[in-house]
Structure 1
């Protein structure tokens, strides 16, 4: 018998054995329903000896138990965003599929699962996991030819009382010594109730009177009428508009009506006019409330809408407003919010609701992140695969019908983390933004972070070839090269997520997408004038590309320089269409400034203690529009407290609460080294080696909500609010306590530039802001259906009496003893036994997460 026949016979025998061992669909369904998965983080600081050769690692354990399981022919798939370095035991073999997707497959040593006989799989993983919400849910079982099923025990659970998600398969964190930090030198401690109480007490967290004329964000100047008095708006307002189309104020007037001052023919006169000759700042306004009328003057429609937003905040429960004059102007032209809908999809309704709140607090740029490795989220005419495949994750290892499951998406493509905006949806979003004077900046990350588009265009090419179309047509928009032998791994552990920038088809694709987005923006009445390319790249992605070797032969550009060349080339392509290029500072920094268009937008996301200040200053000095997007304080996907029950990526910050956002000084980045510690609680130092040139300023401020760990609209609200209000405060209002920028000055904890007087002014400013949130603004968010984060309450028991406080004074606090009924907190309440405390929403309808008082 020939070797070929022997090999064929062996293969057929293997297939026969596999077929014999193959489970049925009923068996797989039963396994998914009964498999008990338990995941436990054992040690975040095992030491360098155990981690070597990795720089850091942590130890965990996966435990599997079930009444029974098929002997072979099935696998358990799950996501781990931290790479698994090693899996112990001999019952399963671990495979890395791509990105964060892993597979456990039974080996010949697997003896099955049975009652009382769990199998433990020890794991060593890179980095650390500081939260019970860091592991990904929705593990699933799959077998050849069968429908994959989500393992029931790994599904998230939502508490009906708090609305908060938990992962019951993750063992609760209790060992602070092993789990709170990443090394013995890490000083991070958990935000326990007594520690929160001490922080709040030190900040003077107590209920203070809220000034009647208070507005957020804080106006430039407010002057109360010395005669006092208020204007009654109970009969509404009679609006007259001069110098601008009334339609430009429709959304702002609708908000005013919701606040209690609807339009009515017999209402108090509200005269709105544009007065460019008065030289009011763009976006600014003058609001004058007198005994019988209101006058609002602005230089542009956005300023008039901002004035109406302030007026809406002044309407109280009696439907009156104080007599006053407000002269107001924004600190920054660009006051932005970035929302990632690519990693996990978020509904059109959620985006529309966010736009409402952005307008209420005078934010005017929505950076909408529409495509990344894990998803493409907007319909593009002529490229159906982008959404037919790129917007869905399911168990299809060929990826011809969907993308691989990532980020705990599970195998079901119909879950809410999947989806896209139709052309009509996107037009509606942009139209709603335009009505609120908010510019939508679409973002499609490239050349890295582009896996969804790459796989979709590969599927398109395969479809057209199968239909007999010529190669030129099939490959017109290809983003990858089949012959590329480059070996690389992106920061999210993909080996195939980077566009080949040496292909003409890559630029044809970009041009097609930009042109189609321009059509959508035109239909919405807001021309496309800014487009965010991300500009992330992956080193090594083009090192063994024949196309890039040929490109180097023609142009002399080496693979290592292709990232900057790509940015320059794409920027020119956009400039030809009248569109300003935008990107993240590191990728944009690879381009040569003299090869870039006259106008360039760069989001500076460098670390405060790293390259952030230098890169921001360098790019601003070269004439670019720099938007400060600092991760340590403006990444709203970071946890809000150092608490293992808070969700979020902690690489930028262990705790970014509302106070930290409020304390940010965006025009003096180096100065934070005097006030803030690093990730491990250690002091920092900074040098201003690249000072800003005289007259150079940053263009704006932007908060970022990345959605890797955010799987629902309610979680979007939890992570955004009320931090977004503090973002608006800093973007609009320059505080008198901020350390002035001094070119070339170095800072450390001993420099003393932030004086005691500044500290006192800041703390008083915070007290007023916190009370305004707790006593007024959160109730407005409640009325709008916003599921903001209710801060965890601080508490101590002293001499048998309970003392409690909350970061935002005015929110209700309650407690219970020994699991009994919840009671409203009264100062000094006598307690004995196990005590828990929690705050409630301003309207009392939602409970916050409770903490035990030791």
Structure 2
């Protein structure tokens, strides 16, 4: 989701095996799947097990510069070259099997005479032996060169859990393709993927790609901007309050004896989570503790969540405009704490958020995260004053919420196994494997979801559920097809057709941005809207029962890829409708408008992605609309932003250049993640973001190939005098800021936390606090590039000095708190050099531990420049010593 064709998000499996008389005509995709190679020998289960246990698979990336061998009819003629290498230690004279595997981008072509490769649907591919294959010979190498779409720039592009199948036998995962966990970093890696080592072939997209591949010396040089000494962070509060006064002279307030809490106008349940966090940091409640008075005093002139805090030797007082303000004040108190130092400075604070909407999207649809992960995550969201959880629960690859009355959604749509008919589960995709009980499968029961909602309320977080539609809906479509078949078999035709989501006679050939050909709900049939109404009625009831009324729902509405053009139902709709729809291209907007108004009639405000909204007519939409804007800055995101803001819609910035946490932290093939809009999105880049002024970033950021770009935000008209772009209207601004964790290749909880933290802390800073160095938006319009100079040297100096303080606070205060909470955040790559036999090292978050390894000697803590040999490695270590970062070899100068 939220992808463009140059990377293609990982896809879904489709293999339908035909239909009986009671089923509708098979969903068209089944016809595009070639039959496996004819069985040449009768296989047994023992044969399949032997092959799965002994076949050694390697993936070898050859070159991104493979355009001369690409299929010019696919993906703009762009592809990379790679190969599979198979070996076995024993003879395996077998045929009659197929191997299924997931691959980020679809196949272009292959060169093997012994094996056939084919792209099925989404990310699913299949490998079968040809007539020339006579079986694997022991210790013989078999290579299958192939080309696939676009580029491969990260080793995490490759998907694990290739599996082998044969008629009437149990499928088996090929053992050599299973993922493994590094015991020191606790991160998943893929042992069968050969390392990417070559700059031109493995690292560059194109010859125009200027992205540097930083080595240890490059990181060392970059980290020098942080200075060589630790900075005092005792007065740093994250996120930064609007107004802070530290009185001078001052003396520290000792909280070693704890705190004694009194409440006025606020319930204990409304602040209990924050008080428990303080206790976990060593500040516990006690009868003889320092008095902490918590009170609510309403103020309609301030944004919800605002508060004041005064801390003196006589006591602490926190007054919020509402209960969430009191809660936020307690989290500010926690921010002043350094672990094992129960003291805070005297301080007076007046604080309110920059944005009312401060959110994080978590995609649990592609790869499931259970309720315990979500609640633990909300602990940290609330610690840094984020207040919106966009929970993405419905996708092509999975449906993750129980809906009473529609059990097929979770019985089929929440599980992945090998079922070619997809009547019991969805076929495996995204490297999910074939075990339906895998942690990456599953769903929230009604009671699970209520528990999440209750926990969210206690943390002053609003949950915005999202079950994407009409695109990104394959899990729902297949689940409702299974429902159709079930009730057709019972001869209950009305019930069978009640929630059918596709036109059985639709022959439209289309491909979604993730290369699906069957993932879009039909916008023309009434059963589609009956389904939406049923789902939303049930979701609203769950919310009400949990005590967090559903006031806003995210439709999704994005990336609908040319469906319906050949649908008889839609052709009839166009011919006979009285709604002014005259063109198939209008159907996407019609669906969004209709669903948005359906929600509004239920008392629910609609939200959707910008590309699903920009084609709607504002006068056909409800009064309140949230638009998540996700355009890429070098590709003109500011055009859509201005248009949607000028519609008076609530625009939530979801800019991929800086808020997509599935992207890598740094540009390195070892760094996990997608990279279609940014090769590196480290914590400093998130900190640099100026959400009030999007165009200004052209002055100091580069495009995805590290080249300069231009943003022209001036008034623009075409030759006929029609306005094609205008800046935001005077006084208009954005409603909020949201980070995104898409999960196509995020298969473990540890990896999910690694992706989110510590970037989430910088996101919270930007959503809550308006930086003093931020350039105001120019409502008259302006053009920005690397030479326009609006963000001048003085402002850059202010920003960089504040980043130094922020980075020190992370290393010295905040990351140790995450250790305490057992959060697996990313440890930065250590910067280092060996010069004249002496090791020099530094780190992006000063205060973290650095270790080095000199040749075969044991790992040793680095404290100062040290004499070493020429074979040195360095790595970061958490304060508690329990986890290590990725080690790198040190450059010798």
Q: TM-score higher than 0.5 here?
A: yes
Match of 1:193 in 2: 216
- Rate the CA distance shift 1:819–1:403 in 2: closer, same or farther, 3 A: farther
Does the 8 Å CA contact 2:830/2:843 hold for their aligned counterparts?
yes
Residue 43 (1) aligns with residue 63 (2)? yes
SS of corresponding position for 2:773 = coil
> Which shows bigger deviation, 50-59 or 561-570?
50-59
Deviation at 1:524, TM superposition (A): 1.5
> Which shows bigger deviation, 394-403 or 768-777?
394-403
Deviation at 1:258, TM superposition (A): 1.8
How many Å separate the matches in 1 of 2:144 and 2:96? 19
SS of corresponding position for 2:314 = coil
Match of 1:10 in 2: none
Does the 8 Å CA contact 1:22/1:143 hold for their aligned counterparts?
no
Match of 2:726 in 1: 690
Deviation at 1:206, TM superposition (A): 3.4
Residue 80 of structure 2: which of 43, 51, 58 is its match? Answer: 58
Deviation at 1:417, TM superposition (A): 1.1
Does the 8 Å CA contact 2:40/2:95 hold for their aligned counterparts?
no
Residue 490 of structure 2: which of 463, 467, 470 is its match? Answer: 467
Does the 8 Å CA contact 1:498/1:537 hold for their aligned counterparts?
no
**Relative contact order (C-alpha < 8 Å, sep 6+): which is higher?**
2
Residue 563 of structure 1: which of 581, 584, 588 is its match? Answer: 588
Residue 689 of structure 2: which of 660, 664, 669 is its match? Answer: 664
Residue 360 (1) aligns with residue 383 (2)? yes
How many Å separate the matches in 1 of 2:458 and 2:139? 62
Match of 2:50 in 1: 30
Match of 1:612 in 2: 637
Residue 225 (1) aligns with residue 247 (2)? yes
Match of 2:874 in 1: 837
Deviation at 1:732, TM superposition (A): 0.5
Residue 98 of structure 1: which of 121, 125, 128 is its match? Answer: 121
SS of corresponding position for 2:645 = helix
Match of 1:721 in 2: 757
Does the 8 Å CA contact 1:35/1:64 hold for their aligned counterparts?
yes
Deviation at 1:205, TM superposition (A): 4.5
Residue 266 of structure 2: which of 244, 250, 254 is its match? Answer: 244
Paired residues for 1:264-283 under 5 Å: 264-277=286-299, 279-283=301-305
How many Å separate the matches in 1 of 2:655 and 2:38? 53
Match of 1:803 in 2: 840
Residue 762 (1) aligns with residue 799 (2)? yes
Residue 772 (1) aligns with residue 809 (2)? yes
SS of corresponding position for 1:737 = coil
Deviation at 1:503, TM superposition (A): 1.0
Deviation at 1:313, TM superposition (A): 2.1
How many Å separate the matches in 2 of 1:31 and 1:49? 32
Match of 2:465 in 1: 442
Match of 1:578 in 2: 603
How many Å separate the matches in 2 of 1:721 and 1:482? 45
How many Å separate the matches in 1 of 2:79 and 2:121? 20
Residue 519 of structure 2: which of 494, 497, 500 is its match? Answer: 497
How many Å separate the matches in 2 of 1:725 and 1:322? 22
Match of 1:78 in 2: 101
Q: Specify every segment of 5 or more residues in structure 1 that has no aligned partner in the other structure, as ranges.
A: 1-14
SS of corresponding position for 1:39 = strand
SS of corresponding position for 1:76 = strand
Residue 451 (1) aligns with residue 488 (2)? no
Match of 2:315 in 1: 293
Residue 737 (1) aligns with residue 773 (2)? yes
Match of 1:337 in 2: 360
Match of 1:9 in 2: none
Paired residues for 1:482-521 under 5 Å: 482-521=504-543
How many Å separate the matches in 1 of 2:391 and 2:403? 16
Does the 8 Å CA contact 1:193/1:851 hold for their aligned counterparts?
yes
- Rate the CA distance shift 1:181–1:277 in 2: closer, same or farther, 3 A: closer
How many Å separate the matches in 2 of 1:289 and 1:214? 15
Aligned residue pairs: how many?
837
SS of corresponding position for 1:702 = strand
How many Å separate the matches in 1 of 2:108 and 2:403? 39
Match of 1:179 in 2: 202
What whole-Å deviation, never above 9, does each CA across 1:426-474 have from its counterpart, x for those lacking one? 11111101111100000111100000000000001111111232x1111
SS of corresponding position for 2:184 = coil
> Which shows bigger deviation, 453-462 or 530-539?
530-539
Match of 1:6 in 2: none
SS of corresponding position for 2:271 = helix
How many Å separate the matches in 1 of 2:314 and 2:776? 42
SS of corresponding position for 1:21 = coil
Match of 1:127 in 2: 150
What whole-Å deviation, never above 9, does each CA across 1:716-772 have from its counterpart, x for those lacking one? 011000000000000001101112211211101000001110010000000000000
Deviation at 1:177, TM superposition (A): 2.3
TM-score (norm 2): 0.92
Residue 821 (1) aligns with residue 846 (2)? no
What whole-Å deviation, never above 9, does each CA across 1:608-643 have from its counterpart, x for those lacking one? 112311111111111100000000110000011111
Does the 8 Å CA contact 2:634/2:711 hold for their aligned counterparts?
yes
Match of 2:746 in 1: 710
> Which shows bigger deviation, 316-325 or 86-95?
316-325
Match of 1:7 in 2: none
Deviation at 1:694, TM superposition (A): 1.1
Match of 2:31 in 1: none
Deviation at 1:797, TM superposition (A): 1.1
- Rate the CA distance shift 1:80–1:443 in 2: closer, same or farther, 3 A: same
How many Å separate the matches in 1 of 2:71 and 2:237? 52
Residue 638 of structure 1: which of 663, 670, 673 is its match? Answer: 663
Does the 8 Å CA contact 1:617/1:690 hold for their aligned counterparts?
yes
Does the 8 Å CA contact 2:855/2:871 hold for their aligned counterparts?
yes
How many Å separate the matches in 2 of 1:68 and 1:465? 48
Paired residues for 1:584-599 under 5 Å: 584-599=609-624
How many Å separate the matches in 1 of 2:61 and 2:505? 41
> Which shows bigger deviation, 238-247 or 347-356?
238-247
Deviation at 1:715, TM superposition (A): 0.4
Does the 8 Å CA contact 1:186/1:680 hold for their aligned counterparts?
yes
How many Å separate the matches in 1 of 2:233 and 2:104? 47
How many Å separate the matches in 2 of 1:113 and 1:776? 57
- Rate the CA distance shift 1:536–1:821 in 2: closer, same or farther, 3 A: same
Does the 8 Å CA contact 2:39/2:97 hold for their aligned counterparts?
no
> Which shows bigger deviation, 556-565 or 445-454?
556-565
- Rate the CA distance shift 1:626–1:112 in 2: closer, same or farther, 3 A: same
Match of 2:563 in 1: 541
- Rate the CA distance shift 1:278–1:519 in 2: closer, same or farther, 3 A: closer
Match of 1:395 in 2: 418
What whole-Å deviation, never above 9, does each CA across 1:181-240 have from its counterpart, x for those lacking one? 111111123221111111112x22534323322110111111113241233322322222
Residue 149 (1) aligns with residue 172 (2)? yes
Deviation at 1:265, TM superposition (A): 2.6
Does the 8 Å CA contact 1:340/1:370 hold for their aligned counterparts?
yes
SS of corresponding position for 1:163 = coil
Match of 1:209 in 2: 231
How many Å separate the matches in 1 of 2:517 and 2:70? 27
Residue 600 (1) aligns with residue 625 (2)? yes
How many Å separate the matches in 2 of 1:600 and 1:648? 31
How many Å separate the matches in 1 of 2:838 and 2:876? 18
Residue 412 of structure 1: which of 415, 431, 435 is its match? Answer: 435
How many Å separate the matches in 2 of 1:282 and 1:516? 29
- Rate the CA distance shift 1:518–1:778 in 2: closer, same or farther, 3 A: same
> Which shows bigger deviation, 844-853 or 628-637?
844-853
Deviation at 1:19, TM superposition (A): 6.6
